[in-house]
Structures are given as C-alpha cells and as structure tokens.
Amino acid sequence: MIENLVKNLESQIKLKDFKLNSLLEITTAINSNENVDKIIELYSFIVREQLGYDRFVLFNRQKEWNCLLKIGYKGKVNHIDVESELARFEEITMIESSHSKFLSNFDVVVPVHHKGQTLAYLLVEGVEYDGKHLSTDLTYMSFVQTLTNIIVVAIENKRMARLKVKQERYKKELELAKTMQQLLFPEELPSNKRMDISAKYKPRHEVGGDYYDFIPIGEDEYIICIADVSGKGVSAAMLMANFQATLRTLFEYQKFDLKTLIIELNKKVMNSAKGEKFITFFLAHYNATSRKLQYVNAGHNHPFITNGKEVEDLDQGCIGLGMLDELPFINVGKKKLRSNTTIVLYTDGVVELENEAEEFFGTERLVNLVHSYYPLKMEDMNSLIFSKLDEWKGPLPLVDDTAIFSCRFF
C-alpha cells in the first residue's frame, strides 16, 4: 500500500514538473518575441512528443476561423464550418458518437475561451473511454486547454500588435499627405481691383483628392486650375499631392503652351498611377491686359462663365489624365472675357451631392445660386453656397470631397 502511495506521489510530482517545464518553455518563447511559427512548433512538440497524441487539429479564430495546426489527420479541413460543427462544445467534451464524419475522427473537443469569446477548438484523437471510465489521459486535457489558451492569446496579441503598427503607419502617412496638401494649396488668393478670387474646400476625410490652384506667371498673366483624382484614401491624396508639385514645378522652370503642358502632365500621371487611377483636370491661362482666356478641360466637370445672367460652359479639352498613355485629342478653348465676368470651377462632390430623397444637387441649382448671390464678394458667395449644400444633404455624411473655386475678373 505504501509502495502504491509512493508511486502515486512520484507520478503526481512528475506530472507537475512536466506541466511547469512545458509552461516555462512556452512563456519563454512568447516573452522572447519568437514568431508565430516557432510558438506553434513548440506547442506541437509538447502535445505530440511529450504527451503522445499523434492526431490533433487546432482551429483558431482571428478575423475568420482557420486551421492553425493539423497533425496526423490526412483529411481536408478548409471546408469545415467550425461554428456549426463545434460551437455547441462549451467545455472539454468526449466525443462518444457523432453524425459528423469529421468529428468521428477524434475523441475529445477542447474549447478555448478568452474574455467571453471562443478563440480556438482543439480536437484530439487517442484518449481512451470504455463507456464508464475515462483514461488517465483525460487528466492532461485541462492542462492542454491552458497551454492552448496561452498560445492562441499570444498569437492574437501579436496580430493586434501588427494591426496597431499598421494603423500607426497609416496615421503617419495620413499626416504626411495632409501636410503636403496644405503646403501646396495657395496660401492667399488675390482680391483687388483686377480680380476677386476665392475657394472653399471640404474633404470627405482628413485628406482629399480635390485640388485647386492660382499661379501668377507674370505681372499680367495667371493660371487657374482645379482637379479631382479617382479613388479615395491616402494613395489618391498622395497622387494628387504629387500632381500639384509637378504642375508648380513645370511652371516654375519652363513656360509651356497649354497643349504641351497637358501632354507632360498626362505622362506624369501615367508614370505615378500606373493606370490604376486618373485625374480630371481643368487648366486656364488668363491675360489680364488682353482679357484673353485659353483653357483645356481634361474630363472635368464643366466650369462655367457668367455675367450674372448668361451662362457658358467651358467644355473644350480632352479626356482625363492617366486614362491612356497618349491623349487621342487636345482642344484648346479660347474666350475673351467681358468686364465683371465670373468663372466658377467646382468638383463633382458639389453637383453629385445627394439629399435624403437621393436627388443630386445638380449644376442648375449651383448656377441659380451663383446668379442669386452675384453682387457678393467671392468668399461670401462660396460660403453661402456651402451652407446651401449642407442644407441639401441634411444629416447625411459627405460622400465625396467638395470644392468650389470662384474667380471674378473686373
């Protein structure tokens, strides 16, 4: 009797030492920041080599359920609907019989919970049960459950850490794009005896894909432009920032005619976007002495000229930039502006803004508002138009960047 007691104590001590050593190995690997593959390899060694279970499958839930480990089981597991097959098992359970062909290959289901959620299911074959008495192997299952809990939580923590790093990187990219945009927008727009120019811009997100600019290229000559990039997010904003910088650089170091300039800009957009995005663009050159306006509309919403009564669209140009390697045609429009003429440039976020009845704001409403507020300064007119846009959309969020660039030439 004493001999049996001693053997039992020795067995308990051996089991305790094994558990402590196994936990130490796993926690050391985790604390040493070993990669996921190394942690899984160590876990597999403990279950297979030290505990002697040579058939087991471990399902782990991250965004979706996936098979993290498959040892000794030759069947396919990718098609297994983990929720329907295993969700009913809330504690360690012997599989006495099952209608599931998959479950019938195993003896025990070991669920792993963390913070009220099920993170994993371990299925093990090799635990004996005669219908009345459990094999002593089942005494290891609680320990295996603990061990599994440790590794799946560690893997989840690593996933969350990677996600946090990715989010931080995205945040920095966002800040960089926002800074670049702010630097490249004109700091001041002129309001004097010759002209009154004002712009208002509301991006949908922190950074946007709309752009406007006013570039003096001499005492009497000016460039006005507006653009909109397809797509959203940081990549679209970075493409537009690059486009802004390119345009300013071209005007700073060389003086192009509009047709040549559009060809060069198309090449730049194609090289930067690789055909994945394009830019609609309106560019105009105005001579304040001769009052002549030349322009190219590259697939952009038609800006319009008005004297408060009559309206004329600026629709001559070409397709959007970055759509094709070579532009099939470029038409340069020409106008001579009368005194007190206004040009209104805008992006599609203005006219395609929807209300709760899913109606577009439309160009006609924009033109009517410009005529209604025509005697006002451009800044005041733009502010009132934006207030009408806010009324139009009501509680709905902006679905696109919104920009209006108004230019009155006296």
Q: What is the pLDDT of residue 136?
A: 52
Q: What is the pLDDT of residue 20?
A: 58
Q: What is the pLDDT of residue 138?
A: 60
- Those residues with Cβ within 8 angstroms of residue 245's Cβ, 6 or more apart along the chain or in another chain: 180, 184
- Those residues with Cβ within 8 angstroms of residue 9's Cβ, 6 or more apart along the chain or in another chain: none
CA 339 from centre of chain = 47
Radius of gyration of the chain (CA): 34
Q: What is the pLDDT of residue 36?
A: 83
Q: What is the pLDDT of residue 16?
A: 57
**What pTM does this model have?**
0.63
Q: Residue 379: in which H helix or E strand, if any?
A: helix 378-393
Q: What is the pLDDT of residue 261?
A: 92
Per residue in 347-371, pLDDT tens? 999 999 999 999 999 999 999 999 9
**Structural domains of the chain ordered from first start:** 2-160 (3.30.450.40), 172-409 (3.60.40.10)
- What is the number of alpha carbons within 13 Å of residue 265 lying toward its C-beta? 33
For the chain, which ranges sit under pLDDT 70?
1-24, 29, 128-139, 177, 180-181, 206-207, 253-255
